[in-house]
Amino acid sequence: MGQALKFRRVLLKLSGEILAGDKGFGIESEIISRLVAEIFDVYELGVELGIVIGGGNIFRGIQAGSQGLDRASGDYMGMLGTAINALALQDVLEQRGIDTRVMSAIEMRQISEPYIRRRATRHLEKNRVVIFACGTGNPYFTTDTAAALRAMEIGAHVLLKGTKVDAVYDKDPRKNKDAKPYETLEFMDVLKQGLKVMDAAAISLCMENNLPIVVFNIGESGNLKRVVTGEKVGTWVGTPG
């Protein structure tokens, strides 16, 4: 634990799509192993880590309408997808010797603990990684909003959004060669410009509670460790300074 930490308690938001790799669906074992290696590095530093994981690699609730399904039913299906991802991540973490708990907003006693805020913070204090499954447990709310909510509840010092890109850009860098990355952004700028950092509800929640967000490429080896030790990586969203 020799390295100084800028953030002691962290909420890491991962999209389900990251787990799918280039396949776009399902769980790529090589990707999840790399993610766990990144998590292991910060775990060894003594970081108290909560993780909210999406389910887009299994099913996206927003797809429900195009498939003739009710949106609420589709969102619940998406939540179950997050539980699948949470269990996969838990298994690989525990293979690395990291004590882990899955806590679900939808009660599934055989595979996870029900989400209880005080129990979650107790797990973190005991140096267990806590994976929050099933979003907020409510349809029409994204896992971005769930990440912001859980970050507030556990008293996280920062919300980290691990993505496939290295920063927030003024336009899509995959389609525009002249896209420029932002080093820092204020919450209101994100909302006014409609930048795809997180959804508006999540940004508003973080703004109201002054919780900074760091958007960074978690696929680059060592980046997660760099962020928690205070290096400038990706885009800082929040109050300047």
- Give domain status of residue 1, yes or no: no
Instruction: Write out the E strands in 8-134.
Output: 9-14, 48-53, 100-104, 113-114, 129-133
* 3 belongs to a structural domain: no
Identify whether 4 is part of a domain.
no
Tens of pLDDT, residue by residue over 144-169, are 999 999 999 999 999 999 998 899 99
Q: Record the pTM.
A: 0.94
15-71, pLDDT tens digit by residue?
999 999 888 889 999 999 999 999 999 999 999 999 999 999 998 766 666 678 888
- Asked, for residue 222, whether it belongs to a domain, the answer is yes
- pLDDT band per the 50, 70, 90 thresholds, residue 176: confident
State the DSSP H helix or E strand holding residue 235, giving kind and residue range, or none if neither. strand 235-237
Q: What is the CATH number of the domain that holds 163?
A: 3.40.1160.10
Q: Is residue 180 part of a domain?
A: yes
Residue 126, helix vs strand vs coil:
coil
What's the structural domain count of the chain? 1
Q: Is residue 162, in this structure, part of any structural domain at all?
A: yes
Which residue in the block uniquely carries the two structure tokens 């990706």? 234
* Burial of 11 per CB tally in 10 Å (0-12, 13-18, 19+): buried
Tell me which residue range forms the domain holding 129: 9-237
Q: How confident is the model at residue 188 (pLDDT cuts 50, 70, 90)?
A: very high
Nearest of 209, 210, 214 to residue 228 by alpha carbon: 214
Token digits of residue 199: 């959804």
In a domain, 25, yes or no: yes
Q: What is the pLDDT of residue 1?
A: 47
